[in-house]
Amino acid sequence: MGVRTWQAGPRRVGRCDGQPGIERNPKANMEMELGSEIRSVVVEGSGYDPYLAALAFKRMLPDLKVGVRCREGSSNPIGEVASPFLLRQLIGSFGIREVDLHTFGRPTWCLGFRFLWGARGEFIQSFDTAPFRKIPKSEIEAGFLSATDDQRSFSIGEALIRLKKVLPPGVSGDGITGLQVRPEPFTDLLQRACAAVGVETTPEGEIADGGLLVRTDAAADRDDWIEPKDGTVAWRSVTGLRRRSNERMLPFCTVQAHPSGWSWRMDHDDSMGIGFAYDPECVSDDDAREWLLERLGKPAGELRVTDWHGGRTSNPWKADSVHIGDAAGFVQPLSGMRLSLLVHEVQTMCRFMIETGMRPGEQSRRLYKDVIGRARDEIRDFEALHFRYPDDPDSECWKKVSSTTGLGEHEELLGVFESIGPSAKLVNALPTIPGVVGINSWVATFLGLGVPFRGRGEVSEADRAVWRTSLGELEANARRGADSERALVAARSRKG
């Protein structure tokens, strides 16, 4: 890679839901209990997480002194999925130019997930899924129509995934397209972006008076941890990379259930990452490694074994110390929400700082705990939904997993779906509206997993014909898409 001059793009402050424009509430200081003034933030961790968090702090609060204290260690070498929300933040709120994103970060495109899982055997979960989409010339919502037909594409993203294509160059992918990122180039991109806006490298030592220490690494001390109440499996994973040969680069993450666990696959420009998640009480570490090596062949680098600790911290913000990201709880790769949640945590914290004139007190910390706790619980329940309806319910592993996995506050949402089906009224059964997962993803996953429901009603042949015409139109539009390789070449050849 040649040497290029880094230029920071314009800064646009955004809310944690991705909408622009946080306004300072002039009455905030009268309404909120105030604490000590925060004059600086030090983000501590390993891999790219601390740089992403530091960049989010600095872009939202440009007058705040922000530093990074990098620990030994790295992000998982196989990389991870970044949702359209994160892509929007990188280019919009954080001011990273698209040309720099592709030159330095070198991501590949990702439109969502292909699941080989559940009663249907396969389903697509695109980022832009729309199960309540109204079909022209039909009064029936798309979710009900899809339940009567094995063909189901709710959106252009799902149609593109089926054809293994991405949007053609020059067409906006906002809300449709996310990324698959690799640790080394993504870390390099974020380091450059941090340096451009004045984020400093902070040495070891005590945090200065008025400073806030933000930790991103998995916490060793779990004294205040809230463990799942339903005995959820403590998954363990083994991951590895292999060099790409002649395989087609896939613009999605493939997730597959197996009798002894489940796997996921990431596609990068020069490599492919595969992970295998398993219950250590059902599968030995040696057997898990052997399973992975059979699929990798000759791995590029060492395999990594990681324990996935369930639950979350009950008190993420204590006075001058905050736990975010993996330090506050583990997010599994089948949701693709880990990085978006980390940014959401930082942006929520910044909103409380702005509302209190940089003097958040105990009330702000309690509200933050409630907001982030609910977000983490929803993601955990969404992950658990997949384990309730496995591909092979008769295997010993999945018998144990499905029988002990609960959906927390979202059990009621599942029950209402089983009663009325994929109706837009389901949004009223969400514990938190709109939530971080969103009703579209919940309902699309219910349908994809083949969760049975009673309120089907009658679907006429005329409605079926309209539905299939709609599917044909989506497929025709998707066929105009591009292969990932060609789209990446176009993106990386653009001039700044």
Share of residues in the chain with pLDDT > 70 (%):
90
Q: pLDDT at residue 367 above 90?
A: yes
Instruction: Say if CB 1 and CB 27 are below 8 A apart.
Output: no
Report the distance separating Cα 447 and Cα 83, nearest Å.
21
Encode pLDDT of 36-73 as tens digits.
Answer: 999 999 999 999 999 999 999 999 999 999 999 998 88
Domain ranges (residues) in the chain: 35-230+310-477
Distance (Å, whole) CA 120 – CA 150: 8
Contacts of 246 (CB under 8 A, 6+ apart): none
Q: How confident is the model at residue 230 (pLDDT cuts 50, 70, 90)?
A: low
| Separation in Å, CA 279 to CA 79, 127, 200, 218 | 22, 28, 41, 20
Burial string for 90-114 (b: 16+ CB within 10 Å, else e) reads bbbbbbbbebbbbbbbbbbbbbbbb
Output the average pLDDT for the chain.
88
CATH of domain 35-230+310-477: 3.50.50.60
The rounded percent of the chain whose pLDDT value lies above 90 is 67
Residue type, 159: A
The closest alpha carbon to 130, from 447, 480, 479, 477, belongs to 447
Measured distance CA(150)–CA(409) in Å, rounded? 30
pLDDT over 80 at 420, yes or no: yes
pLDDT at 26: 39
Query: Per-residue pLDDT for 19 more than 80?
Result: no
Q: Are strands 271-278 and 65-70 parallel, antiparallel or unpaired?
A: unpaired
Residue 452 CB neighbours (<10 A): 12
